[in-house]
Amino acid sequence: MSEIAEGQGRGQSLDDLLAVLDLERIEVNIFRGSSPEEGPQRVFGGLVAGQALVAAGRTAPEDRYVHSLHAYFIRPGDPSVPIVYEVDRVRDGRSFTTRRVVAVQHGKPIFTLSASFHKEEPGLDHQIPMPDVPPPEELPSTRERLQEAFGKLPGFVTWHPIELRPTGPLSFEAERDPRLRTATNPVWLKVDGKLPDDRLTQVCLMTYASDMTLLDTVLLRHGRSFAGISMASLDHAMWFHRPFRADEWLLYAQETPTAQGARGLARGLVYTREGELVCSVVQEGMIRVIDAEGWS
């Protein structure tokens, strides 16, 4: 969730990320997951969401694919101990399957997720068009832009298996220049490496990546960076419309309709580079201004 999230798994490779998403089954409906060996003081929200979706997906029929998830972040996760995922097989209907997952640490829930899976069938088909933005090949990455701006990378940014290429300003740039403030934040992203072909892996990697930049959009609207800000994801919802590959470029077209009461709302539409709408995302986050200082 944010530019900081680009460094959430310090030194993390794609193999490392796939390894932590490959949960250990310890009972029929109980799974155990870990965090990267090096990382922040709390578990990255996208990681726990991705792991919870893996747990749900491994209990769903093979011919049904996740089409939506709704999640709440309840407590900060402790990266020093495993996370236990308890799956409730709520319903297996003729076309839809529903699962509920509770992530537990130290005997308390830290995260809940409800996911729905659907057997593919024909139906009406339409979408709104993709925004007109430069292609990813014409844009530098977030990491390259921070390197150019500061001479060396801030401590929270290292190589990460999700490559981000924003088409507009970063939050520290909008803080320095009020003319760059904007309520939209289109970002090209992809996994830097080759993924397995199964659809559950693709959607779990997109779930992981979807938490990385959404709340940045709220900061961009107000010309704030992360200095003087306390921020955390509160809830997260996703809808998966069409198949896609997370190891190919996807445009994450994000916007923020409102912020108030120490909470900000952001939403995004995810397109393939051919313009096919594959995913919709909405997130609300806690965003507290803890001092009046900006980027230093």
Q: Tens digits of per-residue pLDDT, 267-293?
A: 999 999 999 999 999 999 999 998 754
In this structure, the answer to whether residues 97 and 147 fall within a common structural domain is no
Count the Cβ atoms, other than its own, within 10 Å of residue 149. Answer: 14
Angle between helical axes of 199-210 and 45-57 (0-180°, round to 10):
160
Rounded-to-integer distance, Cα 1 and Cα 200, Å:
22
- Residue ending a domain, among 94, 119, 144, is 119
Indicate whether 246 belongs to any domain: yes
Q: Do 150 and 286 share a domain, yes or no?
A: yes
Residue 250 lies in a domain: yes
pLDDT in tens, 34-77: 987 655 567 889 999 999 999 999 999 999 999 999 999 999 99
Residue 4 domain flag: no
Q: What is the pTM of this model?
A: 0.91
Q: What is the pLDDT of residues 165-207, one digit of tens each?
A: 999 999 989 999 999 999 999 999 999 999 999 999 999 999 9
Total domain count for the chain? 2
Residue 90 · residue 115 · CB < 8 Å: no
Same domain, 144 and 78: no
Say if residue 204 is in the same domain as residue 105.
no
**Pair 220, 270 in one domain:** yes
Same domain, 85 and 56: yes
Q: Per the domain annotation, does 107 fall within a domain?
A: yes
Indicate which CATH number applies to the domain containing 226: 3.10.129.10
The boundaries of the domain holding residue 63 are: 11-119
pLDDT tens digits, 126-135:
999 999 999 9
Catalytic residue positions, numbered: 211, 233, 283
pLDDT at position 164 over 80: yes
Q: Which residue has the tokens 């407590």?
A: 75
